[in-house]
Amino acid sequence: MADSLKEMGLLEGQKAVREKCFHPSGTFVEFTKDEIEQSIPDRFKKIVALYPDRLAVKTGDRALTYRELNQAVNRIARAILEKRGPGSEPVALLFEHGIDVIAAIFGALEASKFYVALDPSFPPEKLSHILEDSGAQLIITNNCNLDLARKLTRESRTALNIDEINDSVVWEDLGLTVLADDIAHLIYTTGSTGEPKGVAHSHRTYLHRAMTFTKQLRVCPDDKFSLLHSVSFGSSRLHLFQSLLMGASLFPFDVKSEGIHRLATWLKAERITICHLPPAVFRQLAELSVSQAAHTSLRLINLSGSPITQTDLDLYRKKYAPETALRIYMGTTETLEVCSYTVESDFCYPGEGVPAGYPVPGKQVLLLNEDGHEVGPNQEGEIAVKSRYLPSGYWNRPDQTKTKFLPDPRGGDERIYLTGDLGLMLPDGFLIHLGRKDSQVNIRGHRVELGEIERALLSFPRVKETTVIPWDREPGEKSLAAYIVPGPGLAPALDELRGFLKGKLPDYMIPSAFMFLESLPLINGKLYHKALPKPANKRPEMKQPYVAPRSQPERKLGQIWEEVLDVRPIGMHDDFFALGGHSLAATQVVSQIIKQFQLELPLQSLFQSPTVAEMATVIAEHQGKKLGREELERILTEIESISDEEAQRLLPHQGSSEDAKKQNE
């Protein structure tokens, strides 16, 4: 073990903290470097042969062993081949979070295709663009999403419903040849053009990532991974392949619909050992934990997607036992993980920027000045990544590929990717992230191009000018603020604008705050960002008038709304999401409702009843049911305490009808 750690160039402190948190079963099996020179299906078949009866995936009351998952994968692969024939090409996957999409991913790869994941919650306009740009002619889906899939099909595009695949279809392995260089996944991200663009990752890229993670953290078949992100989200790939290509078990959980409070219970009940979280979810989860004993099974928490804060480190040290390691990552859609760091007890948060960590094996980090020359330690520069394990580039965008992916000037098969991020390197090789060079910003773990939001706003008939900027709504979490100069006529109402954007953009790209100005502040013809007013925390103009809460529950709910959204005052009929609420904020609201009203409430109830008045009605109904159960239990308890003699006296007399008549009288 020491030799393999030494090969990775890890510092002594990092070796020690990782060794302390390895799985106690000691069942680690080496993932060797030569094993990345194959395909994902080849590696998966090896794992199926080694662990056929071990649990592969589980969600709710549904679970599949590796043998059962492999059978489902092969059936899907044969159905794909029947529709499209052999050969590499993109296929789109349209699924909710769960087991079906995992089987479909491996089925597409087994059929020698590469997959493009579509999130059903995205606006149809965005889904259509991804389908058109990728050229996918087949949409693989299930009963749950079949109607949407049919709406997205055209004359040349068809849908495959995996729920209609007959169990009698042959499930044996297909034996198709798939190479390490072949494309495995096309993932879409926004860029300087504002249009989503695809990044093409190969089988080798993902296998290298799985090997690195496995060796560093000694992943073993006894590990249980959480899968909290949608497969359309970049971080989902971290645990999807690292678990199922090592014989571990994967547990999908939909935080967006289930909520943080249920996540805490679920992690403990399923005894998850490795959990990947965005920092914002980690904060809420840690705050729910009463003591370190709440997560005794967790040996590793991975944080990525957003910058970590000092608050995150404080919560980790306060709420988690020393046996649970905290690991931070920095990466991009194009490069996957670039740097990582396992938090040591004496780690201090930097005075400037955000800690990113040390370069992962196989990735070299360069900091370049404006002339493209490398800068020294403690000097700011653009972060560039040099590696053999980079994607082939942007899908059907050779010009953008050429400007961002550079050949190694020394020759060889390594290339250099310009991230557009700024950073500085400490003398010991630790990277500090200093933000972006361009207009991209990270919102709840998603890279967002501000220009795409501005273009969507400008397409609204009564918006003349606009700019969108990030603002720190809370420490460590960026939000979006839109500044709008209305066109002639009546200025659009906030809920009207939000409804319009909802049809064009995913929820994380819809601004949390909207401010209307007579004109945008300019200096020498350029926008002067510092002159833009800070987003106000007062209630914006909306279609419905303000109505004050009437009852104590409504006042209590209004206070919860105001605290989470930082908007005041909030009326009874104001929509939570129209005021800037999003799925992550919704989990905070529901957690507070559960705490203050002492009842169990599903997260979906806020999406279905997003106003104070509606939620007060939901709470009243739940409390009514609770009181009904308590009253019934009281009566049953009293009955149990009654003696047989008393019971006979209280029961209706079983004699003649005349006796019964007298008793009734």
Residue 587: the pLDDT is 84
Residue 130: the pLDDT is 93
How many CA within 13 A on the CB side of residue 379? 11
Residue with the bigger pLDDT between 288 and 70: it is 70
User: For residues 273 and 224, is the Cβ–Cβ distance under 8 A?
Assistant: yes
Closest by CA to 66, choosing from 80, 76, 56, 78, is 56
Instruction: Kindly give, in sequence order, each residue whose CB lies less than 8 Å from that of residue 424, ignoring residues fewer than 6 positions away.
Output: 353, 367, 377, 378, 379, 380, 381, 431, 432, 434
Mean pLDDT score, 371-396: 93
R_g of the chain, CA atoms, integer Å: 28
Q: Give yes or no for residue 2 having a pLDDT over 80.
A: no
Q: State whether the Cα torsion 484-487-493-498 is positive or negative.
A: negative
Residue with the bigger pLDDT between 572 and 56: it is 56
Q: Give yes or no for residue 653 having a pLDDT over 50.
A: no
User: For residues 384 and 365, is the Cβ–Cβ distance under 8 A?
Assistant: yes
Domains (ranges, CATH) in the chain? 340-437 (2.30.38.10), 440-531 (3.30.300.30)
Three-state SS string over 399-451 comes to HHHHHHEEECCCCCCCEEEEEEEEEEECCCCCEEEEEECCCEEEECCEEEEHH
How many CA within 13 A on the CB side of residue 110? 26
Q: How many CB atoms lie within 10 A of CB 268?
A: 16
Mean pLDDT over each residue of the chain, to the nearest integer: 84
Q: How many CB atoms lie within 10 A of CB 193?
A: 13
Residue with the bigger pLDDT between 655 and 94: it is 94
Mean pLDDT score, 160-175: 86
Please state, in angstroms and rounded to a whole number, the distance separating the CA atoms of residues 262 and 284.
12
Residue 524: the pLDDT is 57
Mean pLDDT score, 618-632: 68
Which strand (E) or helix (H) includes residue 299? Answer: none
Instruction: Name the packing angle between helices 99-110 and 66-84 (round to 10°).
Output: 60
Residue with the bigger pLDDT between 119 and 544: it is 119
Q: Give yes or no for residue 655 having a pLDDT over 50.
A: no
Residue 533: the pLDDT is 86
Residue 506: the pLDDT is 85
Mean pLDDT score, 477-496: 82
Q: Give yes or no for residue 602 having a pLDDT over 50.
A: yes
Q: Which two tokens stand for residue 393?
A: 């580039």
Mean pLDDT score, 64-78: 97
Residue 113: the pLDDT is 98
Q: Give yes or no for residue 4 having a pLDDT over 50.
A: no
